[in-house]
Amino acid sequence: MHVVATAGHVDHGKSTLVRALTGMEPDRWAQERSRGMTIDLGFAWTTLPTGRTVAFVDVPGHERFVPNMLAGVGPVPAALMIVAADEGWKPQSAEHLAALHALDVRHGLLVVTRADLADPRAAQAQAQAELARTSLAGAEAVTVSATTGAGLDDLRAALDRLAGRLPAPDPEAPVRLWIDRAFTIKGAGTVVTGTLGAGRLRPGDELTLGPDTVRVRGLQSLGEQRGEVSAVARVAVNLRGVDRDQAARGDALLTPGRFRATDLLDVRVHGDPVADLPQTLILHLGSAAVPARVRPLGADTARLRLARPLPMHIGDRALVRDPGRRHIAGGVTVLDVAPPGLTRRGAAAARAAVLDGVDGVPDLAAEVRRRRLARRGDLTAMGVPVDRDPTAGDWFVDPDHWADLHRRLADEVERHTRENPLEPGAPLEALRHRLGLPDRVLVEALVRPPLSVKGGRVRPTAGPPGVPAQLTAAVDKAFAGRSPFAAPEAYHLNDLGLGPRQQAAAVRAGLLIQLAPNVLLRADAAEHAARELSKIEQPFTLSEARRALGTTRRVAVPLLELLDRRGLTRRLGDDRRITDPRAELA
């Protein structure tokens, strides 16, 4: 199917022409038919001589209904610009053409209608002169009379040629179906309609509608139920379990995770100078019309803050309109859907300089270079094609930034080791903060020889630094003149400079073993105790072991438990123990 919008001044015969081509009535409401004008969007379709199907979105021509017109034109790839031979070019003709040009509609036909009422040559020449300054320059012209039928066959042939020139849609692309109508049908529930510009839909598909996940109950296209609808197509979607007030014009059905809903975007403006734009405009994208506050950046770039988020991709084309002046200010190309903040002095000018080099064509390398690092899912939602594996985890990192992070990581580990000689390396989380990274997986991926990761810390691969001399001296002093199984009291250790951090460092360095909180012995105490206990009568009790070792119950209990765990002693059923003859005590 090919979808074409009609455009032109009120009562220039758009609906009459569509009716003559299709035999269908595009005007939806009795009010429209009685007034002879299209107020809301009308739809009709026909089969062309080659067998191609073309569906028409018949948009309203009256100035008051321009937002409805934009809702119909926005999602479609081609247009018929219609001018009446007996009236010629009119103000709404110019406004509709300005909208088509702002949306960069490049495929279309100029159709001069009512040729039975006046010589069409003057109207055609004037219209072609107007089109020559727009994206529809060079559009083929056809003269018709819907009343007499003259020229209709020529128009059908021209439509066939137009359809053959339209770009092929991507059936594998994500779905973004802008809703232009929403209503309920008894027994079916909520139905929404729109133009499917890319992708495909099937019953059972899960889509997102705002914050909600919805399921497709059924599809209809060209008046028939469908098991699948591929772009480009006019489609009616029956949604399961959706209330009528959950869907409205300007909303969109989306493939989950494939679009970024944003209310802040940077754009390039094609039309009025950015400096002349009012503070507030209406942004038209798809069928949505949303107020937007304008912050000029450069000569042709601006930042827009929307009244509500819209699902966008980099490269989207939209239109901005000044409703106060009833004026189309121009088109915009979306350059960034996740722009950085502008909080520092001079940030706007710096941002404008960056945007000068952005063309609105989503590119993985360029986006990662500008952002320095970005998640795969975020890039996909921005419309950036991801065609290679991430740098680390699901993160892409600019190569130059990655190399700089490697250097900084080595410097940070060295600094931490110098400032904290008792610690076995720099904690990953501390390094993440110092490097300004959002995910510790990035820190882990940065580690390479001569660095390594162990126990959540980064340290030189060669092993821990040498034990500081002052730590060894403090341990020796703490145990000088003591029985090997007499644990110093906590206050004594603190007096010697062996606080909790130093104690932990001594344990890690292999100078001490910790039997329990505030119970520390020399590192060889377990083996020494096992040898002493092997000399007494077997089996032995806790009291007998305590006396043999010359220690207190405070030390003997956790020490014997340690010997049990290491297999140097074995506990019997009556709470007595024996030294394991298989243990190597030498």
Could you read off the pLDDT of 547-568 as tens digits, one per residue? 999 999 999 999 999 999 998 9
Is 378 in the same domain as 345?
no
**Tell me, what CATH number does 287's domain have?**
2.40.30.10
Residue 386 lies in a domain: yes
Is 280 in the same domain as 212?
no
Count of domains in the chain?
5
Sign, Cα dihedral of 61, 65, 67, 68: negative
**Under 8 Å between Cβ of 289 and 323:** no
The residues, ordered by sequence, that sit 6+ positions from 133 with a Cβ below 8 Å of its Cβ are none
Q: How far apart are CA 267 and CA 293, in angstroms?
A: 12
Chain centre to alpha carbon of residue 178: 19
Residue with tokens 């390039």: 268
The pLDDT, as a whole number, for residue 463 is 46
Q: How far apart are CA 333 and CA 328, in angstroms?
A: 15
pLDDT band at 485 (very low <50, low <70, confident <90, very high): very high
Instruction: Report the range of poorest mean pLDDT among 17-26, 368-377, 457-466.
Output: 457-466
Note down the domain range covering 53. 2-165
Which residues in 19-37 are b (16+ Cβ under 10 Å) and which e?
A: bbbbeeebbbeeebeeeeb
Residue 520 lies in a domain: yes
Q: What is the pLDDT of residues 34-62, one digit of tens each?
A: 333 333 346 788 999 999 999 888 765 44
Is 442 in the same domain as 475?
no
Residue 25 lies in a domain: yes
Is 265 in the same domain as 241?
no
Pairing of strands 280-285, 233-240: unpaired
Domain boundary among 411, 433, 465: 465
Cα-based distances in Å from 214 to 183, 244, 535: 16, 13, 78
Q: How far apart are CA 321 and CA 336, in angstroms?
A: 20
SS3 13: coil
Is 273 in the same domain as 304?
yes
Residue 507 lies in a domain: yes
Is 151 in the same domain as 279?
no
pLDDT at residue 65 greater than cutoff 60: no
Domain boundary among 144, 165, 186: 165
Is 331 in the same domain as 200?
no
Is 129 in the same domain as 186?
no
The pLDDT, as a whole number, for residue 75 is 67
Q: 519 - beta bridge partners?
A: 516
Q: How far apart are CA 39 and CA 64, in angstroms?
A: 9
Chain centre to alpha carbon of residue 468: 50
Sign, Cα dihedral of 30, 36, 39, 41: positive
For the segment 117-135, the average pLDDT, to the nearest whole number, is: 96
**Tell me, what CATH number does 507's domain have?**
1.10.10.10
Residue 402 lies in a domain: yes
Side-chain half-sphere CA neighbours of 81 within 13 A:
36
pLDDT band at 63 (very low <50, low <70, confident <90, very high): very low
**Under 8 Å between Cβ of 82 and 111:** yes
Q: What is the pLDDT of residues 186-245, one digit of tens each?
A: 888 888 988 898 999 999 999 999 999 999 999 988 888 999 999 888 888 999 988 888
Domain boundary among 326, 361, 396: 361
The pLDDT, as a whole number, for residue 37 is 30
The pLDDT, as a whole number, for residue 465 is 52
pLDDT band at 584 (very low <50, low <70, confident <90, very high): very low
Is 296 in the same domain as 195?
no
**Under 8 Å between Cβ of 328 and 321:** yes
Residue 171 lies in a domain: no
For the segment 429-451, the average pLDDT, to the nearest whole number, is: 94
Residue 385 lies in a domain: yes
Is 144 in the same domain as 23?
yes
H helices of 258-346, where?
none
Q: Give kind and range of the element (H or E) at residue 479.
A: helix 469-479
Whether cis (ω within 30° of 0) applies to the bond prior to 269 is no
